[in-house]
Amino acid sequence: MKKLFISYSRGNLATALKFEQFLRGNGFSIWRDRHSIYGGQQWPKALGEAIAANDAVLLLWSANSAESHFVEFEWNTALALKKPIIPCLLDETSLPPSLSAINSIPCQNFDEAAPKILQALSTVAAPNRPEINYQVIAKLQEIKTTEPKQVVEEAKSLFSQSNLNVRGHVIQSGGDVHFTIKEESSKSSWLILAAAIILIAAVAITLSIIGKQSAQLSSGTPTPTPTTKLTGSVHDRDHNPIDGAEISIGELPDRPPVKTTSDGGFRIDGIPRREGESVRIFVFKEGYKRENYYVTLPGPMRLQLEKIR
């Protein structure tokens, strides 16, 4: 069952309820704020966790939405989490620049829009990215203010500093996901120059490494295999740490599993890979569903296990 997060303004509550009823009737699990999550001291983190737990964001866009700092926070967080966004236009209000390169779904006439919405949702495939979820939630936890406008500004700043914001991450009404990065034309020459400098430096470094390796081979000295670590934590769906969960690496079948500590943490050293490379890990704990993920080294990352009912 696909899980959807509905982002909407309170001024469009009646419409949001109509969308929710329609989508639930077509087999979707819907998350919509019913308990004033925005009033809590940690609402940016709680809202980020809710978006991370869903497969896609259904953005009900209107003049009300354009004025809502909460809606702005939600779609910016969805971009950082790399979640597909499906904009449903309730009126003629233009989308924000970061979402402008899309084929949105006009929804002034709900009956005409309904099949298009289902068509778009039928192709949504949001891969599980626990490492990105962990990074984004950790950044949102740094936000201490609860004033909506300040929260939006701090969130965008944190995402930008961490290179987590991807402009134009949207889903077309036909179902294709598009990543569009737009830059000001005045910056183009500087970007080209910077890219050329980086390329020259990379070639120089590569030639230097090759020269050193050749020297080592000629002298009979073996080249050491690079290794790195993997760190993270394992929690249940209620965000409680899981003690004793077993973490094993698929590419190292002969290595015994590492067990999580009382706070759910784990660390695996001596992995024969470089930072930035990916490995497949398997997570197991008695009474929970066995999971496996492709993760990027060295972490840290936050993994979740679901209890067996």
The enclosing H or E element of 13 equals helix 13-25
**Residue 155: CA count within 13 A, CB half-sphere:** 30
Residue 125 confidence (pLDDT) above 80: no
Residue 134 lies in a domain: yes
List pLDDT tens digits, range 24-55.
999 999 998 765 455 555 788 888 888 998 99
Same domain flag for 17 and 88 = yes
142-172 in b/e form (b: 16+ CB < 10 A) is ebeeeebeebbbbbbebbeeeebbbbbbbbb
In the chain, how many domains are there?
2
We report the CATH number of the domain holding residue 10 as: 3.40.50.10140
Instruction: Output 117 or 213, whichever has higher pLDDT.
Output: 117
Q: Which domain holds residue 257?
A: 228-305
pTM over 0.75: no
Same domain flag for 170 and 257 = no
**Residues found in the chain:** 309
Residue 208 lies in a domain: no
We report the CATH number of the domain holding residue 274 as: 2.60.40.1120
Residue 220 pLDDT: 57
Same domain flag for 237 and 156 = no
Residue 180 confidence (pLDDT) above 70: no
Same domain flag for 159 and 237 = no
Residue 40 pLDDT: 56
Residue 217 lies in a domain: no
Same domain flag for 156 and 234 = no
List pLDDT tens digits, range 290-306.
888 778 888 888 888 88
Phi–psi pair at 241, nearest 5 degrees = -65, 145
Tokens of 46: 């709680």
Same domain flag for 26 and 143 = yes
